[in-house]
Amino acid sequence: MAITPMNSFTNTQRTITIGYGPGYANSEVWNDLKSKLIIPTEIVSITAAQRYNPALILLDHHLIREMNHTQWVEEFPEAIFLCTESMDLDADLILSNSLPYRQTCKLLEMACYQWVLKSEKTERAKMRDTSFRYLNKLADISISLSSEDDLMTLLRKILNEGQNIACCDAASLFLINEINDHERDLVFKLTQNDSMEFPFEELRFPLDDSSIAGYVAHTDTELNIPDAYQLSKDVPYKFNQSFDQNTGYRTKSIFAIPLANKQKEVIGVLQFINRKKARSLKVTDEKSALAYTLPFDSDINVLLQALASQAGIAIENTILQNDIKALFEGFVNASVSAIEQRDPTTSGHSFRVADLCIGLAKSVSASNITRLRNVHFTDAEVRELKYAALLHDFGKVGVRESVLVKEKKLTSGSLENIQYRIWLAQEKLRTLALGKQLEMYRNGSAIESELHLINAQLEADIRMLNEFYATIVEVNEPSVLKEDNKGMLDKINNYNFDTLDDDLSIITEEEFNLLSIKKGSLSPSERKEIESHVVHTQSFLNHIPWTKEFQNVPTIAGAHHEKLDGSGYPYGMTSDQIPLPSKIMTVCDIYDALTASDRPYKRAMGTEKAIDILLLESKQGYLDNDLVQIFIDAKVFHCIDTKENSSSTPSASTSNHPCDHDLHQHD
């Protein structure tokens, strides 16, 4: 009596193999149970069972002698096991020896049904596991892509992840390039191949339908091509065989998908080539390509579509971030250049200080000094220090140009006024001497010797006034004031001569004070104005809406003239209050001030002398000793030796750079 398999498993269109031992070979059940979906098969050994991999296994004494029940279950964990009552086994179903034929068939049918349920449950579990694994993988990929800010590294990650998902041999990435408002092309940006290495060259293609990538980008349509050499004649695109011809490679299956940004605009194309049975297989020629490659199926394509969606947004964000960084870098560099235009003699200072700061920060991270052993500057912190260093003197915009570029001690026009006064005094002396001589002639008492004395005194007074002027001209230079010149200044300051209205001095009190400056060209008030550049710098930088990673730029720049003992400016901060990046900048700033181009009052120092001064400043408690030691040991100062903005060219004129006045007296 034949039986009809239950719909619950026939509808699944599964082929169910029932393997039975030799002891069941003569059962009449098998003839009636055969169908398109149920295949009874005698198995006489474990080898035969492995070959057929049956869904149901009827164990008899013959099979049990070959391998015990537990081992059978371990070998075939997904199978349903049956046996008779006489075998005393813990099987899934027991076939009673006393059961009628019809009930035996029903029992076998029930076993088939049980296997279907079990296999479907297993498959659902596998699908859930696979889906969960893919979701986790896509989440990990999304996090990885969103955290990458280097474009080429991001593109390599996208291709790597795509190859992992698709298990394909090669992948390529194309980006759309905007030439102008009305013209675009397609840039072959990157490619990877597991089977061979070859030199890659970035190429450009027309953005049209003639190529596979061009068609995908132009039409915003994905292409799934089973064989690149078997394209329909009706399609507008062609497969470029040049790579295969040049390398001996064989491109077979291709899946190309457009990359879109947040606005759903196509920005590029991802192209995956030669999906393989295993990632480790190498596709080196046509034979291996035909043997190892597979078409891209719908399940894989869905995942690649998800990857492409993430990749398009990640690429757009990275390009946008890079554009913003380039824009900001340009703004910073333009700002520094603009400031240095007001003070050309210090050109390159901010750029050199930034280079020195970067070098010292990296050296600190690599040092073994106990106090700084746990200090490790991240890339973002190094960039933050770089921007602070580049902009640390931006506050010079708040300093009057007459002070910033003041070349002499006297203000503009003062020396000319003094010269006019001296000429006036000399003319007054000549007038007085001539008046005395005329009076003597008028009174008839003109004696040659007395007239000669008057002329000699006149010449002496005129010579003295000329010496006054020569001294003033010499003292007006921003060099160190000599002691004998100081005495002469006092003499000049006390000299008065009569005019029609009042006594007139050669120099005013303000001019005397300026000429009495011991070093440099700035008065105490002017020096205060120069020092105020730090406050202006911090105020200006506070108006910039810095991102979180650069929020400390104003504070770092605003403390670069502070000293550990509190003697610095503008706030008199002490060591615990000064940020470490500011301490780094102070060391670098002073080094460059010492070694920068000659000033009229300060010749550029060599490296050894500058290092000696840094060491002395650190021993006296002004600079961080550990930072100075790292600066010297790591030879950080060499990082600016070959820079285009090096300070090797002497300055032709003076300047009052703030850092030139930040040192304690070192001759």
pLDDT in tens, 560-607: 999 999 999 999 999 999 999 999 999 999 999 898 764 544 567 889
- Residue 266 φ/ψ, nearest 5 degrees: -70, 125
Q: Is pLDDT of 231 > 70?
A: yes
**Secondary structure of the chain: what % helix, strand, coil (to 5)?**
55, 15, 35
CATH superfamily of domain region 7-122: Response regulator (3.40.50.2300)
Which candidate, 393, 410, 406, places its Cα nearest to that of 340?
A: 393
Say whether pLDDT at 644 is over 60: no
CA distance readout (Å), 623 to 527, 583, 614, 630: 22, 7, 8, 12
For the beta sheet containing 16-20, the strands, ordered from the edge strand earlier in sequence to the opposite edge, are: 38-42, 16-20, 56-58, 80-84, 93-95
Which tens digit of pLDDT belongs to each residue from 350-381?
999 999 999 999 999 999 888 998 899 999 99
- In this prediction, residue 5 carries a pLDDT of 43
Residue 647 binned pLDDT confidence (cut-offs 50, 70, 90): very low
Q: What is the homologous superfamily of the domain 148-321 according to CATH?
A: GAF domain (3.30.450.40)
Q: What is the pLDDT of residue 641?
A: 83
Q: Which two tokens stand for residue 473?
A: 């001209």
Please report the pLDDT score of residue 155 as a whole number.
85
Q: Which of 470, 511, 519 is nearest to 493 (CA)?
A: 511
Exposed, middle or buried: residue 163 (CB in 10 Å: 0-12, 13-18, 19+)?
A: buried
In this structure, the dihedral spanned by the alpha carbons of residues 587, 588, 593 and 597, taken in order and rounded to 10 degrees, is 150
Domain boundaries, the chain: 7-122, 148-321, 343-403+528-661, 414-520
Question: Two tokens at 531?
Answer: 């020092």
For residue 6, the model assigns a pLDDT of 42
Residue 238's pLDDT band (cuts 50, 70, 90): very high
pLDDT of residue 168: 93
Ranking 225-229, 384-388, 472-476 by mean pLDDT, the lowest is 472-476
Same fold, 148-321 and 343-403+528-661: no
Give the mean pLDDT of 266-287. 91
pLDDT at 310: 83
Give residue 381's pLDDT.
94
| pLDDT at res. 9 | 45
pLDDT at 296 (0 to 100):
93
CATH number of 343-403+528-661: 1.10.3210.10
Mean pLDDT of 458-467: 92
Q: Average pLDDT, stretch 381-408?
A: 86
H-helix or E-strand containing 267?
Answer: strand 266-276
| Whole-angstrom distance, CA of residue 294 vs CA of residue 223 | 15
Structure tokens at 334: 């333009």
